[in-house]
Structure formats: structure tokens, C-alpha cells
Amino acid sequence: MRFVKYAIDTMKLRMQSISRGTTQDNLSLDKLLTFDFLTPPLPTQRKIAAVLSAYDDLIENNTRRIAILEETAQALYREWFVHFRFPGHQDIALVDSPLGPIPEGWKVQKLYDISEVTTGYPFKSRRFTEEPVGMPVIRIRDIPNNSTKTYTDEEADERYKVVNGDILVGMDGDFHMTKWAGGEAYLNQRVARFRPRAGLPSYYLFLAPRGPIQHFNSTITGTTVAHLGKKHLVTVDIVAPNSEIVKKIRDLFQPLLDMESNLHLRNANLRRTRDLLLPRLISGEIDVADLDIDSGGLNDD
């Protein structure tokens, strides 16, 4: 039953709030056994599950739409910049380059030539908090989720601020990449930010270095965890198209990036609202027993 799932989610939130030790979460069986939750009548359970499921369904739908937009951008990138089947390609010859044949008039440039690469500030982890005080901080673990719940009261130079659309790469462990959509935040150490130069669209700068970074991900090894560094990034070569193609691809990529960012923002708002409602509904603080809520297909969950 979905109600049980949501009740367990509430327990997880409570566990997190009391299980933080000095360096890491410290959760014991004794703590687990202290948790209990109300079990209202079955019709009320179904209504609670229906309310929370509505949020989860919207989030899932938006996530699928984001995936479709990403697949569209990747297909477009492969067609234009891997197979070189862009509009008018029949009239342009291929010439030799360090990366193999590329269209005449295009260039092979270093990642540092086509983008501004910034690595994060060494914030003091002991001043991190999940209370919304100060400025959000993007840590490596936040990249896959495209959001952060970490804040700091430290201040850093303006160059360490991240805005939506910035390309971020985690430099330890798995070198995850993302097009940031979690709002203005500080860049923490061991996270790199790419910003395009010369009018290149952000989406292009996200897709073009993925191959080399995935190669590093599979080949760099360390004693305990892999580390990506400047010595690796300075070797990355990127095919840079001519100005005519840059304009065309910007006109195609920017709407995709805008739609993705909007969907990420909607999901963040939906998750925030759901997480606020979750403990209040499960605890009975918000009583839905007398509300006309259609639990529909949840009756048999």
C-alpha cells in the first residue's frame, strides 16, 4: 500500500534529523525502534496516498519529459557534430584534423579555449547546514540530483557563484555532469564549472566534452577514488563549428535548455511542497478524512 511507503518516507526524514553524528550519520537499531506512526482508517490512508501520489506522478511525468528533451538534444548533436549531417553539409568538404576529418572552416580547439573553466572554493564543511541560512553550496553529491540542500554562512568571491545553465562536473568518484537548474549557489571544491566562450550554446558545451570525460571516468584510477584534474581537462579537444552553425545550433539548443530548466524548477517546487505535506498528512496534523478526494486506482494498492 502506498500509504505505508509514505509512512516509511516520514520515518526516514525523522531518522535523518536525529542520526547525524560529528562526522557521519550514526543510526542504531535502538533509534529505529523508537519510531511509530498513526494508522488512520483505510479510506483515510487511501486519501493521503492519493494526495501524495499526485505530486509523485507529476514529478515522474516531468522527469520523463526532461529525458525526452535530453534524447532530442543528443540525437541532434550526433547528427550535426559526429556524423556532420548538418544543413548544407553536402556543399562543404571534409578536411583532416587531430580528431579526424571535420568540415572545412571548423576547428579543433582545447576545452579551455572554448570555455571558462572554474573549480570550486574550499568551504569549511563544519559550517555546512541544511537550515536555509546563507547561500546554497553545490557539492559533488548534488550534481546527479541537480539540486542542493546544503547551506553555508561563509562568503566567497563572485566567481564561485553558479547560475542556471552552467555546466558542472564532479571531479571525484564518478565524474557526473549536469546542466545546473537548481538556482544560484556557490561552487564547492572538487566541482568544476564550464561556461562557454565565443557564443557557443551551453548545451553544446555539455555534450561536446562528455565523451572525453566518460573516457577519463573509465580509465582514471586511484587508491580509493578516482580524481579528475586540470591535467586531464587541458588535454580535451573539442570540434568547434563555424559561426553560421553556432548560430543555428544555439537557436535549436536554447529552447531545449529553457524547457529542461523549467521542468527541473517545477519538480523542485513539487518535491518541496510534497515534503512539507508528507509529515503533516501522515501525522494527522492535516486531516483529510472528510475531504472529497478521489483515491481512484489506489484502492487495491
- CATH number of the domain bearing residue 59: 1.20.1460
Query: Of 222, 240, 258, which residue constitutes the final position of a domain?
Result: 240
Q: How confident is the model at residue 289 (pLDDT cuts 50, 70, 90)?
A: confident
Residue 101 domain-assigned (yes or no)? no
Residue 102 lies in a domain: no
- At 140-182, the pLDDT tens digits run 999 998 999 999 999 999 999 999 999 999 999 889 999 999 9
Looking at the structure, tell me whether residues 197 and 246 fall in a common domain: no
Whether residue 255 sits in one domain with residue 233: no
Q: Which of 218, 240, 262 is the last residue of a domain?
A: 240
Q: Which residue has the higher pLDDT, 20 or 104?
A: 104
Residue 135's Cβ-side half-sphere holds a number of Cα atoms within 13 Å equal to 19
Domain range for residue 195?
107-240
Q: What is the pLDDT of residue 11?
A: 72
Quick one: 150 and 235 in the same domain? yes
Instruction: Say yes or no to pLDDT of 93 above 50.
Output: yes
- 38 lies in the same domain as 117: no
- What's the average model confidence in pLDDT over 278-300? 82
Q: Which residues contact 261 (CB under 8 A, 6 or more apart)?
A: 164, 165, 179, 181
Residues 230 and 245 in one domain: no
Tell me the backbone φ, ψ of residue 252, rounded to 5 degrees: -85, -40
CATH number at residue 209: 3.90.220.20
CB neighbours of residue 292 within 10 Å: 6
End residue of a domain, out of 189, 210, 240: 240
**222 band by pLDDT with thresholds 50, 70 and 90:** low
Site of grid cell 577514488? 225
CA–CA dist 4, 11 (Å, integer)? 10
Co-location of 80 and 200 in the same domain: no
Q: pTM, whole model, 2 decimals?
A: 0.85
Q: 268 and 279 share a domain?
A: yes
How confident is the model over 1-51, as pLDDT tens digits? 688 788 877 776 666 555 444 444 555 556 656 667 678 899 999 999 999
Q: Which pLDDT value is given to residue 221?
A: 72
208 exposed, middle or buried (CB, 10 Å; 0-12, 13-18, 19+)?
buried
**229-275 per-position pLDDT tens digit:** 999 999 999 999 999 999 999 999 999 999 999 999 999 999 999 99
**Taking 80 as the threshold, does the pLDDT of residue 224 lie above it?**
no
CA distance 277 to 221: 44
Q: Is residue 193 part of a domain?
A: yes
Instruction: Identify whether residues 20 and 126 lie together within a single domain.
Output: no
Mean pLDDT of the chain: 89
Q: What average pLDDT does the segment 184-188 reach?
A: 97
Contact 186, 242 (CB under 8 A): no
Q: Read off the pLDDT of each residue in 115-136 and give the average, rounded to a whole number.
A: 95
Number of domains in the chain: 2
Q: Is residue 39 part of a domain?
A: yes
Based on the domain organization, do 277 and 288 belong to the same domain?
Answer: yes
Q: What percent of the chain has pLDDT over 70?
A: 88
- If you write DSSP's letter for every residue of 64-96 in order, what string do you get? HHHHHHHHHHHHHHIIIIIS---TTGGGS-EE-
Domain match, 153 and 215 both: yes
Residues 123 and 232 in one domain: yes
Pair (27, 88) in one structural domain: yes
Q: Output the pLDDT for position 24.
A: 46
pLDDT score, position 23: 42
